[in-house]
Amino acid sequence: MSKDKSKEHIELSAVTYPTNNQAIIILPDGSKIKLDTLSNDILFDKYLFKLTKSNIGLFEIENIASNNSGQASLPIKIVNPRGSTTLHFKLADGTHVWLNTQSSLSYPMVFSKQKREVELSGEAYFEVAKDTAKRFFVKTSQLTTEVLGTHFDIKAYDDEAVSKVTLLEGSVNIYYNKTSQVQKLKPRQQAAVSSNSINVKNANSNDVLAWKNELLSFNDSDIQTIMREISRWYDVEVEYGNITDDRKFSGYISRNTPLEDVLKILHKSGINFKTEGNKILVF
């Protein structure tokens, strides 16, 4: 596609974005603990659990409470804010979770005797520890995913019209919250859940899990989709001028790439930008 050079435009000021935003754990009483400040094991006597940080950055949560304890059903919430890197932690049942930026996971201090249930907002990749006596459920605003022991990714941001579940290993059942519709996935399949339907297609696991390796991946994506990802990763606000560009973009961008360089790459495709503070105008 040819471009009118007279219309090319990019103004980049020194875009500021947080470098110290890190994941936090919110305790039942509302108090918050920054996970990056932990250097040793911490025992929370009041809530009967221990938090450990390994030398490779893995956070482990170990329960000391029992199912009969009055503390068992109290909620814990782990929040990974905008501008933060991927967080890897292990739940008390042995399940590994990778939490993307602008995402949170809530769950009880101790899972019940019947099931293991967590609530997700945003995106996470799960490697669920097998327990035939306790199925594992992930609830989002649109859907509930049921597994025994499985590897899968769920992307369910509030500002996205479609939620996606991608299965890497094992099997899952997806329950659409608004109806009684149930969808079973096979490995390397992805279910896209919108306000009125569930569509299943084959998926490229490398593209789906690129974020886990600190990469932005785009596959036939429009500029609005790309800017939503950039907004989360760099913690910037995005506004749109009079833009009617309907082109699609594909490729990978390392998260270590300065934001100014990312915008310059997109500008080469004819998208115009102006930045001020932590705001980006796209036009």
Among 175, 165, 170, smallest CA distance to 187 is for 170
Global pTM value: 0.90
- CA separation, residue 137 to residues 39, 126, 164, 174 (Å): 32, 11, 15, 10
Separation of CA 46 from chain center: 30
Domain boundaries, the chain: 5-16+213-282, 24-208
Per-residue pLDDT of 38-88, as tens digits, reads 777 777 766 667 888 887 778 888 876 555 555 567 889 999 999 998 999
The whole-number pLDDT of residue 117 equals 97
Dihedral sign for Cα 171, 145, 200, 163, please. negative
Say if domain 24-208 classifies as CATH 2.40.50.180: no
pLDDT score of 65 = 59
pLDDT digits (tens, 9 = 90+) for 242-256: 877 788 999 999 988
Asked if the domains at 5-16+213-282 and 24-208 fall in one CATH topology, the answer is no
* Run of H or E residues at 147: strand 143-147
Dist CA 260 CA 258 (whole Å): 5
Residue 4 confidence (pLDDT): 38
Q: Quick: pLDDT tens for 148-189.
A: 889 999 999 999 999 999 999 999 999 988 777 899 999 999
The whole-angstrom separation of Cα 232 and Cα 102 is: 6
pLDDT of residue 2: 33
**What would the two tokens of residue 231 be?**
């907004």
Q: What is the pLDDT of residues 186-233, one digit of tens each?
A: 999 999 999 888 999 999 999 999 999 989 999 999 999 999 999 999
Three-class SS state of 173: strand
CATH architecture of the domain covering 5-16+213-282:
3-Layer(bab) Sandwich (3.55)
